[in-house]
């Protein structure tokens, strides 16, 4: 299988917004003391962070869909896979429910605790957005609860087409950050040039 390559999301304010959003959410729920912000300020911080999450998930979803498209190129060349009814949804489900152990290990090493939610929500959001959405185009209620909508969108995406369930035991693949993959290719090209 082709490797899954994830590109970094470049937003210098992203991590700060996510931390502020988490703190604001806890303050709004009364889990952290709040002596400095109004409810409106906390709500704005929460929504800023949620929009940042939507953007990040959108870009992850683009990478996942690119990988699924590459997998479908393989299916198009393999009669046995077509006969088994292996579809895009088969590979989406593989990513969410049964990625290879090496992929899960790498995700944990990167600090990704809940890859299932990230991958499924990223695919769900990409099922309706052709481009990263502009914040002002999103309803406040959607931004506040996007994860619930994204979960339902992913479930809808899976149900759009009957598809075979596939497992990592038969479909091995690797996961790379884009920079890591580029360095690996450079080494391979350098080694092959030296051998000539």
* pLDDT tens profile 154-195: 999 999 999 999 999 999 999 988 766 556 656 666 665 555
Q: How many domains does the chain have?
A: 1
Helix 115-126 to helix 39-77 angle, to the nearest 10 degrees? 80
For 133-143, what is the mean pLDDT? 94
Domain enclosing residue 179, as ranges: 4-195
pLDDT score, position 195: 57
Minimum mean pLDDT among 10-14, 115-119, 169-173: which range?
10-14
Higher pLDDT, 103 or 189: 103
**Mean pLDDT over residues 141-155, rounded?**
96
Tokens of 52: 């940042």
Cα 161 to chain centroid, rounded:
21
Question: Which pTM does this prediction carry?
Answer: 0.82
**Higher pLDDT among residues 46 and 162, named by residue:** 162
């Amino acid at each position: 299988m082709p490797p899954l390559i994830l590109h970094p999301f470049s937003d210098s304010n992203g991590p700060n917004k996510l931390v502020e959003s988490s703190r604001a959410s806890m303050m709004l729920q009364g889990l952290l003391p709040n002596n400095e912000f109004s409810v409106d300020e906390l709500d704005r911080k929460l929504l800023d962070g949620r929009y940042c999450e939507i953007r990040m998930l959108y870009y992850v979803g683009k990478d996942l869909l690119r990988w699924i498209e590459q997998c479908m190129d393989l299916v198009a060349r393999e009669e046995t896979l077509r006969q088994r009814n292996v579809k895009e949804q088969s590979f989406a489900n593989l990513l969410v429910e049964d990625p290879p152990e090496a992929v899960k290990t790498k995700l944990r090493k990167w600090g990704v605790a809940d890859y299932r939610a990230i991958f499924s929500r990223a695919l769900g959001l990409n099922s309706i957005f052709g481009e990263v959405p502009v914040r002002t185009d999103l309803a406040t209620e959607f931004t506040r609860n996007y994860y619930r909508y994204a979960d339902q969108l992913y479930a809808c995406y899976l149900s759009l087409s009957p598809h075979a369930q596939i497992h990592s035991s038969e479909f091995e693949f690797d996961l790379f950050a884009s920079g890591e993959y580029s360095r690996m290719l450079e080494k391979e090209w350098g080694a092959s040039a030296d051998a000539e």
